[in-house]
RNA sequence: GCGCCCGUAGCUCAGUUGGAUAGAGCGGCGGUUUCCUAAACCGCAGGCCGCCGGUUCAACUCCGGCCGGGCGUACCA
């Protein structure tokens, strides 16, 4: 697969030469990157072939070395059972610099003509946006940008949780512990969601007491939700609309700060008209049965059936997700439908796929759950119902405030200091959520999100600012046409820049932003090492200044582009 | 109980899908600012890769068992 990497050229040369020397097809040649860069740029271990050919691996390695032909600009060397290859530094610099100066560097076209419907963020109405919601939001946004860079059409959908039986509870809570007037008053001071959240917590406290009270609450809530699902323009609907509007305003404020956008904000309630037809469609397929009063469907690999409708006739999460996946397939003809949703819902998405499969739809396996690990607190699982959450805006505010203090002390004359503090503070929080394998559970730690040293967003941003500063102070416009023979001195940095497109391709293919995030840290580390060892502005000859400047600019552009794909700003100064 | 996921340095994590002496960051200790921003850089200390067995020329990586943790386990989402 062409990745658009300037290293592809060398790789192709190598696999072709090796295939010819060995008399096998190029596709079966697997090149590796040596652990130790001093061994070379590419490696070919000979163990497996040696075994097949009943030869000693080192003997085969030197035999191949003798037969290699057409390795223009690549030198080969054996190291025991390994064949190591090193790219000619001048040719490496020439190709990498030219590629990296292209504004679309890192892009590709393997996604051309393919549509990905990506479901991310999807918070619940009437609950505060907490640190756990951040994961889906920023992981989803990074996946979207990476996939778009690789040529996919991505439809980003915010599947707002604005439907379901919890609205019955919320309406009950509003009537019992508060009033519409009190909600309006809270809205006037911008605290409507806090207010709703509080009464929601109150409800669950009472519910936990059990007894008659809990029964009353449950009955009342059921009635409210039935009213809502009746479709009539009644009291329930009017209040529901009000809560929805108020919540969306808070979400908008956060998305603006995070620079997160959607193609479509379409809540679960939008599928309300599709629910009855969806249930009918599944019933008509003859795969449902009634169990304990509920409409269920059996799915393979599980003795428990999936529930489509409750004994009351109200719908469930699964029903609404089925309606929405049908809508998405019909509307967007997706190549893949990807859900950036927590790992606690793995069984749910397995059920969703298997129900679609049972309906005989061939695209069932195009549904993919790009799950992420749970965000927990040191004291245990977060819970909106128990009010035990870390509010995202508090985290963002703390991070920005802390950066503001740092800027004042480190760079007091900085222009637009507030804007930079916002970019770096947000960058720290976002990067912190992207840097590890998304499937891992994380325990929230203030100390970690507020750390700006080492493998962090601010470290990458700082490196970018340093590179930008060198270019700015040179007073020159860097050019990729600089003498590649001189730029070759930064081989490790050139290689890291050269790997960028294939990293984006892999991260997009696996929906794994952390692959890009860790490559970005590595790039920043190598850039730091480069300008530590190679003075740019006082390099001596004009040719050497131009060559080093070209490399600095190539690194700067790649770093900026990587951060952009991760949804992080790259200020020129900080 | 059953199912899925995880266990790598004091802490948080990488480890290119089986290859060369297991790598970073934080924290600790020691250094580097008349030198393009010290949010940086350099050095040191710190590892039976949870445990036991198996497959393989080769296992942190694959398989089985055990121990420890997380999540899920039909009328919430």
This complex has an ipTM of 0.96
Residue A486 CA to B30 C1' — how many Å? 36
Average the pLDDT over A149-164 and give the result: 95
Which domain does A13 fall in, by range?
8-87
pLDDT recorded at residue A383: 83
Among A8-22, A114-128, A167-181, A204-218, which is the least confidently predicted range?
A204-218
Nucleotide nearest to A514 (CA to C1'): B14
Fill in the DSSP letter of residue A476.
S
A518 lies in the same domain as A428: yes
Q: What average pLDDT does the segment A223-231 reach?
A: 88
Residue A80 in any domain: the answer is: yes
**How would you label A126-140 residue by residue, b for 16+ Cβ within 10 Å and e otherwise?**
bbbbbbbbbbbbbbb
- Whether the pLDDT of residue A195 is over 70: the answer is yes
Q: Which nucleotide is nearest to A42 (CA to C1')?
A: B16
Write the CB contacts of A486 (distance below 8 Å, at least 6 apart in sequence). A543, A544, A547, A548
Assess if residue A429 is contained within a domain.
yes
Q: Give mean pLDDT, residues A88-110.
A: 97
Q: What is the reported pLDDT for A396?
A: 97
Boundary-marking domain end, from A87, A116, A141: A87
Identify the weakest region by mean pLDDT among A345-349, A382-386, A448-452, A531-535.
Answer: A382-386
Question: What distance in Å separates the CA atoms of residue A262 and residue A88, rounded to the nearest whole number?
Answer: 45
Mean pLDDT of chain A: 94
> Could you identify the residue whose CA is nearest to the C1' atom of nucleotide B38?
A410
pLDDT tens per residue across span A372-405: 999 999 888 888 888 788 999 999 999 999 999 9
Q: Whole-number Å distance, CA A260 to C1' B42?
A: 39
In this structure, are residues A118 and A158 in contact, taking their beta carbons and an 8 Å threshold? no
> What pLDDT, on the 0 to 100 scale, is given for residue A80?
92
Quick one: A415 and A557 in the same domain? yes
A443-454 average pLDDT score: 94
CATH code: domain of residue A63: 3.30.1360.70
Give the domain-ending residue among A201, A221, A244: A244
Predicted confidence (pLDDT) at residue A2 exceeds the cutoff of 80: no
Asked whether residue A52 falls in the same domain as residue A174, the answer is no
Nucleotide nearest to A79 (CA to C1'): B20
Please give the share of chain A, as a percent, with pLDDT higher than 70. Answer: 100
| In a domain? residue A204 | yes
Q: Are A407 and A517 within one domain? A: yes
HSE at residue A321, side-chain half, CA atoms within 13 A, is 25
Residue A300 lies inside a defined structural domain of this protein: no
Number of domains in chain A: 3
Residue A403 sits in the same domain as residue A528 = yes
Q: How far is the CA of A434 from the C1' of B29 (A)?
A: 32
Residue A388's pLDDT is 85
The mean pLDDT value for A287-297 works out to 93
Q: What three-state secondary structure class fits A158?
A: strand
A67 and A170 assigned to the same domain: no
Domain membership of residue A381 (yes or no) is no
Confidence of residue A303 (pLDDT cuts 50, 70, 90): confident
Residue A185 has pLDDT above 70, yes or no: yes
Same domain for A76 and A219?
Answer: no
Per-residue pLDDT tens digits for A408-426: 999 999 999 999 999 999 9
Which nucleotides along chain B are within 7 A of a protein C-beta? Answer: 3-6, 12-17, 19-27, 35-42, 57-58, 70-77
CB A68 within 8 A of CB A21: yes
The whole-number average pLDDT for the span A18-35 is 91
Q: Would residue A519 count as lying in a domain? A: yes
Element (H, E) at A72: none
pLDDT category at A1 given cuts 50, 70, 90 is low
Q: How far is CA A43 from the centre of its chain?
A: 31
* Residue that finishes a domain, picked among A48, A64, A87: A87
Residues A524 and A408 in one domain: yes
Q: At what angle do helices A542-565 and A491-510 cross, to 10 degrees?
A: 20
Task: Establish if A175 belongs to a structural domain.
Answer: yes
Examine residue A250 and state whether it is found in any structural domain, yes or no: no
Examine the domain organization and report whether A417 and A506 are in the same domain.
Answer: yes
């Amino acid at each position: 697969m062409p990745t658009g990497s300037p290293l592809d050229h060398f790789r192709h040369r190598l696999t072709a030469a090796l295939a010819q020397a060995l008399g096998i097809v190029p596709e079966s040649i697997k090149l590796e990157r040596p652990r130790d860069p001093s061994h070379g740029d590419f490696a070919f271990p000979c163990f497996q072939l040696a075994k097949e050919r009943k030869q000693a691996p080192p003997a085969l390695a030197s035999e191949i070395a003798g037969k290699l032909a057409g390795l223009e600009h690549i030198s080969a060397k054996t190291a025991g059972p390994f064949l190591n290859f090193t790219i000619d530094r001048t040719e490496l610099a020439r190709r990498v610099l030219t590629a990296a100066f292209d504004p679309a560097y890192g892009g590709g076209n393997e996604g051309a003509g393919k549509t990905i419907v990506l479901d991310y963020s999807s918070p619940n109405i009437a609950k505060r946006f907490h640190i756990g919601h951040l994961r889906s939001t920023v992981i989803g946004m990074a996946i979207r940008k990476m996939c778009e860079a690789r040529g996919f059409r991505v439809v980003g959908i915010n599947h707002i949780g604005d439907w379901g039986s919890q609205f019955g509870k919320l309406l009950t809570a509003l009537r019992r512990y508060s009033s519409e007037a009190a909600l309006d008053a809270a809205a006037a001071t911008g605290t409507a969601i806090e207010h709703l959240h509080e009464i929601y917590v109150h409800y669950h406290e009472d519910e936990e007491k059990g007894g008659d009270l809990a029964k009353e609450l449950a009955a009342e809530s059921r009635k409210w939700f039935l009213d809502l699902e009746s479709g009539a323009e009644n009291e329930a609907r009017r209040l529901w609309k009000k809560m929805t509007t108020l919540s969306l305003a808070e979400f908008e404020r956060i998305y603006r700060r995070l620079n997160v956008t959607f193609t479509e904000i379409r809540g679960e309630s939008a599928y309300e008209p599709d629910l009855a037809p969806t249930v009918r469609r599944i019933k008509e397929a003859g795969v449902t049965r009634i169990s304990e009063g509920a409409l269920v469907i059996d799915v393979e690999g599980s003795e428990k059936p999936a529930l489509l409708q409750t004994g009351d006739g109200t719908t469930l999460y699964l029903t609404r997700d089925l309606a929405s996946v049908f809508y998405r397939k019909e509307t967007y003809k997706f190549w893949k439908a990807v859900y950036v949703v927590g790992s606690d819902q793995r069984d749910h998405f397995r059920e969703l796929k298997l129900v679609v499969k049972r309906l005989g739809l061939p695209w069932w396996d195009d549904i993919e759950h790009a799950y992420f690990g749970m965000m927990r607190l040191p004291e245990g699982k977060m819970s909106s119902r128990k009010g035990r959450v870390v509010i995202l805006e508090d985290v963002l505010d703390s991070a920005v405030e802390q950066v503001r203090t740092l800027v004042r002390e480190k760079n007091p004359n900085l222009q637009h200091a507030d804007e930079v503090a916002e970019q770096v503070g947000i960058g720290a929080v976002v990067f912190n959520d992207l840097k590890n394998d998304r499937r891992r559970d994380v325990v929230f730690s203030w100390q970690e999100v507020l750390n700006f040293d080492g493998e962090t967003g601010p470290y990458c941003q700082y490196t970018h600012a340093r590179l930008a500063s060198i270019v700015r102070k040179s007073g020159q416009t860097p050019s990729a046409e600089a003498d590649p023979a001189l730029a070759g001195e930064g081989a490790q940095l050139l290689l890291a820049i050269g790997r960028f497109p294939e990293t984006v391709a892999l991260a997009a293919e696996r929906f794994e932003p952390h692959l890009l995030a860790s490559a970005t840290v590595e790039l920043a580390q190598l850039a730091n090492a480069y300008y530590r060892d190679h003075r740019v502005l006082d390099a001596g000859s004009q040719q050497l200044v131009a060559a080093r400047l070209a490399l600095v600019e190539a690194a700067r552009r790649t770093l900026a582009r990587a951060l952009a794909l991760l949804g992080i700003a790259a200020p020129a100064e900080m």
